[in-house]
C-alpha cells in the first residue's frame, strides 16, 4: 500500500491532526476537537484517576515499525515500549502487590514481540489471535497453527493468556452463533486466561441470538463460554451488567 503512515511524521506534525470517530453511526460531535494522544498521555489518564485504573496497551505492528523507525541507541520498538512502562512504575507479575497498585497487561498479535519483552519485564502478556486463516506479521504463520496444542504449550511460557477474535471461539453462520470451538478449553487446560474481542452494543455487531441485547451477550460469554476477561467499546455497559449480576455482598 502506498500512502502516508504515522512513521512518516514527527510528533509535532501528528499533533496537528484532529481525531475522528471512525464509525459513522456513533457520536460525531467531537470530531477534530482533540489531537492524537501519546503513550505517555494515555498512561497519565490512568495514573491521574482517583482510583486504581489498569491499562492494556498493545505492541501494534512491531515489524512495520522496526523496519521504518531506527532509534539512535540501536534499540527496538519493543524496548522503547517497555522502557516507557517502567518509567511510570509499571512492574510486577500478574496479581502481585506491585501489579495490583498499577495493573497492566501487554497485548500483541506478534508472538515474537511477546517472547522478546518477556525478557524485559514480568508484566503479564496476552497473545492476540485473529481469524485463523490470517498470517502473523512476524512469523508468517497462520493463527490456526498458533492455536494448536503444541504452540499453546510453547507460548504459555511467555504469556498469561490469549485474546482471540470472538469468531475463533464460537464460529458464526448467517449472523447466528454456530459451533463452539475447543480454544477456551485448550487455553484453560494450560492455565491461560481468555480475553476475547471486541464487544460492542450496536445491533450491527450483535449476533441474532442475543436479540439486540448486549447484556445477553455478556451473560453468554462470561457464564456459558467461561471467558476470564474481555475487550469492549462500552465499559459502562459491562460495568452495569456486573453490578446487576453480582451477589449483594
pLDDT in tens, 10-42: 999 999 999 999 999 999 999 999 999 999 999
For 91-113, the pLDDT digits (tens) are 999 999 999 999 999 999 999 99
Note the pLDDT tens digit of each residue in 143-164.
Answer: 999 999 999 999 999 999 999 9
Residue 234 CB contacts under 8 Å (≥ 6 apart), including other chains: 199, 200, 201, 214
Q: What is the reported pLDDT for 1?
A: 85
Predicted pLDDT of residue 249: 53
Q: How confident is the model at residue 248 (pLDDT cuts 50, 70, 90)?
A: confident
pTM: 0.96
Quick one: pLDDT at residue 247? 83
Contact assessment for residue 104 and residue 112, using Cβ atoms and an 8 Å cutoff = no
The C-alpha cell of 69 is what?
A: 523507525
Amino acid at each position: 500500500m502506498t500512502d502516508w503512515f504515522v512513521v512518516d511524521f514527527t510528533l509535532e506534525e501528528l499533533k496537528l491532526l484532529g481525531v475522528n470517530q471512525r464509525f459513522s453511526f456513533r457520536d460525531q460531535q467531537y470530531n477534530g476537537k482533540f489531537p492524537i494522544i501519546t503513550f505517555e498521555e494515555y498512561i497519565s489518564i490512568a495514573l491521574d484517576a482517583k482510583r486504581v485504573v489498569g491499562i492494556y496497551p498493545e505492541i501494534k505492528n512491531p515489524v512495520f515499525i522496526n523496519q521504518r523507525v531506527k532509534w539512535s541507541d540501536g534499540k527496538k520498538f519493543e524496548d522503547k515500549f517497555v522502557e516507557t512502562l517502567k518509567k511510570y512504575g509499571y512492574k510486577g507479575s500478574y496479581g502481585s502487590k506491585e501489579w495490583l497498585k498499577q495493573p497492566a497487561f501487554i497485548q500483541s498479535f506478534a508472538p515474537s514481540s511477546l517472547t522478546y519483552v518477556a525478557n524485559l519485564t514480568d508484566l503479564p502478556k496476552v497473545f492476540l489471535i485473529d481469524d485463523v486463516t490470517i498470517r502473523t506479521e512476524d512469523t508468517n504463520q497462520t493463527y490456526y497453527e498458533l492455536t494448536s496444542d503444541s504452540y499453546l504449550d510453547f507460548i504459555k511460557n511467555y504469556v498469561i493468556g490469549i485474546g482471540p477474535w470472538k469468531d475463533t471461539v464460537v464460529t458464526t453462520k448467517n449472523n447466528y452463533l454456530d459451533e463452539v470451538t475447543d480454544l477456551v478449553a485448550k487455553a484453560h487446560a494450560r492455565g491461560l486466561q481468555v480475553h476475547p474481542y471486541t464487544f460492542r452494543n450496536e445491533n450491527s455487531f450483535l449476533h441474532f441470538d442475543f436479540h439486540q441485547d448486549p447484556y445477553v451477550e455478556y451473560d453468554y460469554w462470561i457464564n456459558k463460554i467461561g471467558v476470564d476477561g474481555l475487550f469492549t467499546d462500552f465499559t459502562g455497559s459491562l460495568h452495569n451488567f456486573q453490578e446487576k449480576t453480582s451477589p449483594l455482598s
